[in-house]
Amino acid sequence: MEALHKDAGNESHLASMMKLTLTTMIVSNSTGLKVRAQVFREAREGIVRCRRSGRNTGKWNLDQTTYKSLCEVVAAFDRQLNQAPFYEFMLADEEMTALLARRDESRAK
């Protein structure tokens, strides 16, 4: 996240932040360790903006609003790691894998 904040990031860094955001959102929904929905929305929208900009300009950097939202996501993920059962993270990973498979299937058609 810091690499993206300091104009030293790349698409791989951005993908990691998206995965962290989605994992945190899924675990939040399944465990009751809630985070404001607006935080996830702002993070996702900011990641999309950064991706679009990065692909057009080659610069992968987060705006301040996205950075703040991702700081909240990272803090929530840290709390989840301390409080949620490990299997919740396994289930979240399985759910993301299934979503990506369905997306890839629909793109192939």
Q: CA dihedral defined by 90, 28, 82, 67, rounded to 10 degrees?
A: 110
In this predicted structure, the answer to whether residue 109 has a pLDDT above a threshold of 80 is no
CB atoms within 10 A of CB 2: 10
pLDDT digits (tens, 9 = 90+) for 37-94: 899 999 999 999 999 999 999 999 999 999 999 999 999 999 999 999 999 999 999 9
Q: Quick one: tokens of 38? A: 């607006």
DSSP state of 88: H
The pLDDT confidence band at residue 101, using thresholds 50, 70 and 90, is: confident
Whole-structure pTM value? 0.88
pLDDT digits (tens, 9 = 90+) for 9-26: 999 999 999 999 999 999
pLDDT digits (tens, 9 = 90+) for 23-36: 999 999 888 888 88
Question: Is the pLDDT higher at 45 or at 100?
Answer: 45
